Structure 1
Amino acid sequence: MTSEHRAGGAATLGIELTPEHPPERVADLAAFAEDEGFDVVFASSHYFNRDPFVVLSRMADATDEIRLGPGVVNPYETHPVRLAAQTATIDERSDGRGVFGIGAGDRSSLSNLGIERDRPLRRVLETFDLARDLWAGETVTHEGTFTARDAALNFEPPSGRLPVYVGAQGPHMLRMSAKHADGVLINAAHPRDLEWAAGQIERGLAERPDERGAFESLAFASVSVAGDESEAREAARPPVAFIVGGAAEPVLERHDIDRGAAKAVSEALERGALPEAFGHVTPKMIDAFCLAGTTETVADRFGAALEHVDGIVVGSPLGPALEDAITRASEAFARATEA
C-alpha cells in the first residue's frame, strides 16, 4: 500500500512519547519533536505511567502546530463517553489539533486490573462511532458492548470530527480500521509484517464507503537510533522483550524466532524479572521487532517500511538519548523520503 490512500501524498512522521517522565519533560520533548519536523505526537496510555491526558494538555501548551492525542487508549479502563470527552478537551486545548488513538488494550495489562477484554473489535468500533456522534453535538443512547443513556457533551471540539486512528495488529482489527476509521496504527516494524498488514487493510478498503474520505496507514514501530549501532540495539532490548512476550505464534513463525528463547522472555516477564527477560532477547528478535541502529541504518529500515505504509510513528524506546534520537529519527526519515 502506498500514500495514494491519504490526502496530499506526503508521508507522515509521528512520534510516541511515553509518560514515564514528568508532564513537563514530555511536553518539552513534544516541542522539540515539533521543531524537528514531526507531524503528530501520541501519548501512550498505561495504567502504571502518568495520565496521558494530563500530559497531552501540557503538550498542547508547549506546541503550536503538531497534531496530538492519546496513542492508544482502550475502552475498558475508561468508559467510552469519558474518552470522547477527554479527547475533545485536548482538541479544544490545542485549538483543533486533536487526534483519537483508540485500541483494544493489552490483554495482560487489563488482566492485572481484573478486566476481561471482551469482544475487542466490536467495542473499539462502537467506541469511536459513539465518540463521533458526541463530537457532532448529538445526544446518544447506546446498548452494545457498553451502555450509555442520553449521553451528551456540553461543548463541541473545534475540529468537529477528530481523526480516529485504530491501534491494530490482528487481521480483523486491521480490516475494520480500514473500513470505518480515518487511519490505523499498525503495531509492527518489519517490512514482512507491514506487507502482510497492508494486504489486510486493502481488504477493508475495498468495503470502505466513499464518504469516509482518505485513509492513512501508519507503522507504529519500535525505533532505537543512536550514533553507535551497539548502543542503539542495547536500548531496544526492553521494548522488544515486551513485544515478544505478547507476540502471536504466526508472528514468531514469520520471523523464525527461537521458541525456547521467546518462552524464556515471556516467563521472565510474567515473574516480573525484567533484567532477566531483557537478557533473553536475541539479535534476531531485535531485527524483527525494532528499527534499531545508526541514522543510516534506520533510514534504510524506514525506506523499506514505507513501501507498505503512508508514514511512521517512531515508538519506544526512541534511543539511548531522547533528544539525540528525535533528531536522528527526523534525519533518517528525511533521507528515506527524499526524492
Structure 2
Amino acid sequence: MTVLGAVSMPHLPPEHLAAAADAAEHSGVDELWVWEDCFWGGAIASAATILARTERIRVGIGVMPTPLRNVAVTAMELSVLLRAHPGRLVPGVGHGVQEWMGQIGARVESPLTLLREQLDALRGLLGGEKVSVDGRYVRLDGVSLVYPPTVPTQLIAAASGPKTLRLAGRYADGVTLTSSTSPEGVRAARTLIAEGVAKSGRTRPHRLIANIEAATGPDAAERLARAQATRPSHQPGAGVAGDAHAIADAVHRYVEAGADTVILQPTEDDPDLVGFIRFIGEQVRPLVS
C-alpha cells in the first residue's frame, strides 16, 4: 500500500502546529512532514510538538541542513524522540540551501563531503556505537549516546543531483526528492540511487520519497503556476492542480515511476494550510491504494 503523507508547511505559525497534528491524526494520512527552512521553526521542536500530540501517524523531518548543527547534537536530540516515540519519527538530513548557510557563517566548501561524513557518523551514533572520526568536517573522539534508540532508525537524505543521489543510496536508508521532480525524474533518480545502494552492501529496501506540490480549489491552477514559476529547477510534469481525483491520479503516476512514499505539499499561498492536510487524509487517501 502506498504511503501517503502531507507537509505541515513552515509558513504555518507554531501556535497552529497542534491543529495540523490533529488534522493529520484524525483524517487518515500516514505521515506528516515538517521542514527546517531558515529562518522559520526548528524541525526538532516542531516534530516533538506533533509527536506529543499524536499516537498514530509517523512524523518526518525533511530535512535538517547538515551545516546547521554538530552531528553529536543532532544525534542527542533525535535519540530522545526516537526513544520516546519508537517507530514514529523519520529523520532526514540534507545539504541545506547554500545561501542560507552563508547567512549563518556555516557554508562549507564541499557539501557532499559534509553530508557523507554526517550520515556515516549519525548512523553509528544512533546505532549505539562509540564513534571516533577525524574527517574533513566531522570530528568525534570516542562519542557514544547514553540513550541510543531502542529500534532501528531509518535515515533519510535529501538529494537532487546525480552525485548526491548516489551518495544517498550508499549512506542513507531513503531519499526524499524535491517537489520540482516529475515522474520521469523519479525514474531517473531511482536508477542513480540503485547505483549507490549496490555499493553500500545493505540489503534492506531503500525508500524513495516523492514530494508533489498540489493545489486544490477554484484557483488551484493559478496558484500552482505561480509557485512553479519561482523554481528554475522545475521539471515539466511535476505538481498537480485539481480535485481529489486529479491529485490521486498524480500520486499513482509517481508510484508507477518508482516512488514508495508520496508526500503532498500545499502551495505557500494556500488559504487553509491545516485544511489541506485534512483534505489529503479525508478525500485523497481513500482514492490511493
For 1:167 and 1:321, locate their aligned partners in 2 and report how far apart those are by CA, in whole Å. Answer: 27
Match of 2:267 in 1: 317
The amino acid across from 1:147 in the alignment is R
Alignment of 1:17 with 2:8, yes or no, is yes
Alignment of 1:207 with 2:199, yes or no, is yes
Alignment of 1:304 with 2:253, yes or no, is yes
Residues 297 and 93 from structure 1, CA distance in 2 versus in 1: closer, same or farther, beyond 3 angstroms?
A: same
- Equivalences for residues 181-192 of structure 1 within 5 A: 181-187=172-178, 188-192=180-184
Report Cα offsets for 1:17-68 as digits up to 9, x if no partner.
Answer: 2333343412321231122222222210022102221121111111102122
Match of 1:162 in 2: 153
Higher mean displacement: 199-208 or 166-175: 199-208
Match of 2:109 in 1: 118
| Contact 2:266/2:276, CA 8 A, preserved across alignment | no
Could you list the runs of 5+ residues in structure 1 that have no partner in the other structure?
Answer: 1-9, 256-287
Match of 1:136 in 2: 127
The amino acid across from 1:155 in the alignment is Y
Match of 1:275 in 2: none
Among 15, 25, 28, the alignment partner of 2:19 is 28
- Cα distance, 1:122 vs structure 2: 2.5
Residues 141 and 242 from structure 1, CA distance in 2 versus in 1: closer, same or farther, beyond 3 angstroms?
A: farther
Among 164, 168, 176, the alignment partner of 1:173 is 164
Among 214, 219, 227, the alignment partner of 2:217 is 227
Match of 2:38 in 1: 47
- Cα distance, 1:239 vs structure 2: 4.4
| Contact 1:23/1:58, CA 8 A, preserved across alignment | no
Match of 1:272 in 2: none
Which has the higher Rg, Structure 1 or Structure 2? 1
For 1:190 and 1:334, locate their aligned partners in 2 and report how far apart those are by CA, in whole Å. Answer: 23
| Contact 1:243/1:289, CA 8 A, preserved across alignment | no
Residues 191 and 69 from structure 1, CA distance in 2 versus in 1: closer, same or farther, beyond 3 angstroms?
A: closer
Match of 2:187 in 1: 195
SS at match of 1:55: helix
- Cα distance, 1:96 vs structure 2: 4.0
Among 272, 276, 280, the alignment partner of 1:329 is 280
The amino acid across from 1:332 in the alignment is V
SS at match of 2:231: helix
- Cα distance, 1:238 vs structure 2: 6.1
For 2:188 and 2:95, locate their aligned partners in 1 and report how far apart those are by CA, in whole Å. Answer: 20
- Cα distance, 1:206 vs structure 2: 3.4
The amino acid across from 1:240 in the alignment is Q
Residues 227 and 84 from structure 1, CA distance in 2 versus in 1: closer, same or farther, beyond 3 angstroms?
A: same
The amino acid across from 1:137 in the alignment is G
The amino acid across from 1:326 in the alignment is I
For 1:208 and 1:34, locate their aligned partners in 2 and report how far apart those are by CA, in whole Å. Answer: 35
Residues 180 and 146 from structure 1, CA distance in 2 versus in 1: closer, same or farther, beyond 3 angstroms?
A: closer
| Contact 1:13/1:313, CA 8 A, preserved across alignment | yes
| Contact 1:167/1:184, CA 8 A, preserved across alignment | yes
SS at match of 2:284: helix
Percent sequence identity over aligned pairs: 24
- Cα distance, 1:105 vs structure 2: 0.8
Match of 1:281 in 2: none
| Contact 2:19/2:274, CA 8 A, preserved across alignment | no
Q: TM-score by structure 2 length?
A: 0.88
Match of 1:3 in 2: none
For 2:208 and 2:246, locate their aligned partners in 1 and report how far apart those are by CA, in whole Å. Answer: 23
The amino acid across from 2:104 in the alignment is L
For 1:136 and 1:128, locate their aligned partners in 2 and report how far apart those are by CA, in whole Å. Answer: 12
For 2:59 and 2:44, locate their aligned partners in 1 and report how far apart those are by CA, in whole Å. Answer: 10
Aligned length: 284
- Cα distance, 1:15 vs structure 2: 2.2
Q: TM-score by structure 1 length?
A: 0.76
For 1:19 and 1:201, locate their aligned partners in 2 and report how far apart those are by CA, in whole Å. Answer: 28
Higher mean displacement: 49-58 or 90-99: 90-99
Match of 2:71 in 1: 80
RMSD: 2.3
Residues 189 and 300 from structure 1, CA distance in 2 versus in 1: closer, same or farther, beyond 3 angstroms?
A: farther
For 1:39 and 1:123, locate their aligned partners in 2 and report how far apart those are by CA, in whole Å. Answer: 31
The amino acid across from 2:265 in the alignment is G
The amino acid across from 1:232 in the alignment is A
